[in-house]
């Protein structure tokens, strides 16, 4: 009876979660990202005030000490501010900026890709030529030019991150549309008198969306690294606000006597991008029906 009850409980678990947590590496990456996201949402409400409040008694406090309380378990910076609190607030800023930039680039690039793929006239060619111009510039160089011209701020940072990633979604969407628009159900809808907008957004877009979302999940780690790089160079978010990249920039001058100031945000960037890459690679395999058998095979071998 207990075995049957356990089997019934297991059958109620969605298949993606079953396969995910049977892969130790992908499961660990998912758990880490859940913890980071939860800390980014909840922790600033609890200890966020310590991220900007100086505490000169705790200046350059070494990590793993509870003299000033648990909030200082990872140490303190040169002004005595809790690194744990700053990591939580920095996670909210870093992940929030990256998420908004990815959503904007996905929306803009996906929409333009639908138009470029469906249109057979000058409009599609014009969109692709404009995309070629954007891609001709190295993304980091383009970001530096735009931020130097407009000035560093959160809206400008999101704008430049979105613009540099738009060509990826545009070209991917266009390639998918070129294949989907030749299928029989699109021809049938055209014969029944469906308008171009109905064909694009009701028939073609739902077929393309899973691929674009997979690209977005893969691209999220790249945007996090790009944002951290720009903040490290001083062209991202400006004080008193901060991200993980600006925390690393603040701590680089104290590596000799307070290495932990730069180490913890650098480690957070490393583990977050690594987890995102591992999880997106797993999702790419799961989302492809022709590759999903690899996950199923691993499940059977463990049995």
- Give one DSSP letter per residue of 91-124, joined into a string: HHHHHHHHHHHHHHHHHHHHHHHHHHHH--SHHH
CB 149 within 8 A of CB 156: no
For residue 140, being part of any structural domain is answered with: yes
pLDDT at 180 over 80: yes
We report the CATH number of the domain holding residue 190 as 1.10.3720.10
* pLDDT given for residue 13 in this prediction: 60
Mean pLDDT over the full length of the chain: 83
CB count in 10 Å sphere of residue 49: 13
For residue 42, being part of any structural domain is answered with: no
For residue range 2-14, list pLDDT tens digits in order.
Answer: 454 444 554 556 6
For residue 73, being part of any structural domain is answered with: no
Q: Quick one: tokens of 192? A: 């029944």
Task: Please state the domain count of the chain.
Answer: 1
Domain containing residue 200? 91-302
* pLDDT given for residue 2 in this prediction: 47
Count H helices, E strands: the chain?
13, 0
Model pTM?
Answer: 0.84
For residue 80, being part of any structural domain is answered with: no
CB 152 within 8 A of CB 235: yes
For residue 3, being part of any structural domain is answered with: no
Q: SS in 3 state form for 126-188?
A: HHHHHHHHHHCCCHHHHHHHHHHHHCCCHHHHHHHHHHHHHHHHHHHHHHHHHHHCCCHHHHH
For residue 143, being part of any structural domain is answered with: yes
For residue 120, being part of any structural domain is answered with: yes
More confident position, 271 or 134: 271
Residue in this structure with the two tokens 């744990």, named with its chain if needed: 84
For residue 164, being part of any structural domain is answered with: yes
């Amino acid at each position: 009876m207990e075995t049957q009850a356990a089997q019934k409980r297991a059958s109620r678990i969605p298949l993606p979660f079953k396969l995910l947590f049977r892969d130790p590496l992908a499961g660990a990456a998912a758990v880490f990202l859940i913890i980071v996201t939860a800390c980014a949402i909840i922790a600033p409400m609890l200890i966020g005030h310590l991220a900007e409040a100086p505490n000169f008694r705790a200046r350059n406090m070494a990590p793993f000490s509870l003299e000033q309380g648990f909030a200082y378990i990872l140490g303190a910076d040169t002004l005595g501010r809790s690194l744990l609190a700053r990591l939580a607030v920095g996670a909210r800023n870093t992940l929030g900026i990256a998420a908004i930039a990815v959503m904007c680039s996905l929306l803009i690039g996906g929409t333009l890709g639908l138009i470029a793929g469906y249109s057979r006239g000058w409009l599609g060619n014009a969109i692709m030529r404009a995309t070629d111009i954007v891609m001709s510039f190295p993304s980091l160089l383009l970001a530096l030019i735009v931020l130097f011209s407009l000035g560093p701020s959160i809206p400008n940072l999101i704008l430049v991150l979105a613009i540099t990633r738009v060509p990826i979604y545009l070209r991917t969407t266009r390639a998918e549309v070129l294949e989907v628009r030749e299928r029989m159900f699109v021809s049938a809808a055209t014969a029944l008198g469906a308008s171009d907008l109905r064909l694009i957004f009701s028939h073609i877009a739902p077929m393309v969306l899973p691929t674009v979302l997979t690209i977005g999940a893969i691209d999220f780690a790249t945007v996090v690294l790009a944002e951290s790089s720009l903040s490290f160079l001083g062209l991202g978010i400006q004080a008193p606000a901060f991200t993980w990249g600006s925390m690393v920039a603040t701590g680089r001058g104290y590596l000799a006597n307070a290495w932990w100031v730069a180490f913890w945000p650098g480690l957070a960037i490393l583990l977050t991008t690594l987890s995102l890459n591992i999880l997106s690679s797993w999702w790419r395999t799961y989302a492809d029906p022709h590759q999903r058998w690899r996950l199923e095979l691993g499940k059977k071998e463990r049995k």
